[in-house]
Amino acid sequence: MFERHFERVAVKVLTSVETDPGKSHQHELNGVNEFRELLGPEKRERVPCDFHYLTDDPSADLDDFGVVSWYDSREAHPSRSEYRLYYSANTIMDRAREEDILVLADRGSTIEIFVARAGSSTEQQLKWLLGIKGPVPKSDVHPTSGLLRRSELVGRLPLLDRLGIVSSSSGAIDVESLIERFPEGLPTTAEFAEYARGLHEPDLGDDPDAALLTWTKTEEEAFRAIERCEISERLEAGFYGADGIDIDEFLSYSLSVQNRRKARAGLSLEHHVRALLDYRGTQYAYEAVTEGNSKPDFLFPSAEAYHDQTFPIDDLSMLAVKTTCKDRWRQVLAEAERIPDKHLLTLEPAISVAQTDEMERHALQLVVPRLIHDSYGPSQATWLMTVTDFLELVSR
């Protein structure tokens, strides 16, 4: 469920004529007659527009502001129309390149335009969320109903925050009971993860993949519910200093909220993986030291076995756990040097082919819950390992 979302969005692949200054200085999107379904047939002039460039590194994303105008360049023609979208000069469209995809959302009084780098994981996630299989059409309009269904598989996908889509409660969490359970506010991540698992007890023996997703989604919703109460109270108190409103204090508080979200998400996923392993009676070491300061998240069957040079290497395994991969997956390659074939569990859907190919070349096997596999391409899906597959590997 979403408090704020787009019912439909327009999507197109950018061409060289639209992005190469050497070929055009028009600041126009061409071939967008299909956008009439979204923007309507009437002329719209100088509509405020927020522009966003999305990469696989959120810290490298760019935002800018401008205006757009929607018009029929053949308005005077008796039987032919040719719609175009003019945009004012901005850093986002300056950065856009041929084959990047552009997503346009109409908020009525304003427009939002998102550009995703061609071949990136962000592009692949956008396509998956919108239900686009194969190449993006030259230009088209897509309903976002599929976005709601697919995003519910993985809980709070970071990309949704970047798109400005705000999740609301599904009703599965009783906020009053939650506050009564934790009157002092958020508990430790281990305690909160255990609380979330207690709300849903799927059959772990039959479907660990579904169990892991259910737990993480439930905990995310519970976390957001209690966090929303905390933030509301803090905002009501205001941010004031000796000289009035304290902007620095507000910015510091906002940053602390974002950092807490990221830190809790990763730790919580590790706690849920531990619960799966404990349920199956699997031998493992959690954050055991291997070489130097290296501490892989999970080592199988034990730290003692790893450091025993007579223990067969083929019987050793390691698992890193990351809610999202980005470029951080390369850190895993330096962990547990004795183990050549490493495993990484993630909840991130639709990682780019370029990244999964590189992982495979470095003998890093990606482990992804089964229900997210269809977000990957056909060649990727045959390579991916499910959570159940991995548990069977280390339980032998």
Q: Which residue has the tokens 């780098």?
A: 117
Cα dist. 97→20, 87, 119, 250 in Å?
7, 16, 12, 36
Is 240 among the residues known to form the active site?
no
Under 8 Å CB-to-CB from 168, ≥6 apart: which residues? 1, 2, 3
Set 53, 83, 87, 306: catalytic member: 306
Strand ranges inside 80-131, DSSP E:
83-87, 101-106, 111-116
CA distance 70 to 257: 39
CA distance 202 to 215: 9
In contact, 101 and 80? CB cutoff 8 Å? no
Cα dist. 196→190, 225, 293 in Å?
10, 13, 32
Under 8 Å CB-to-CB from 314, ≥6 apart: which residues? none
The strand pairing partners of 104, in sequence order, are 10, 113
Catalytically active residues, by annotation: 306
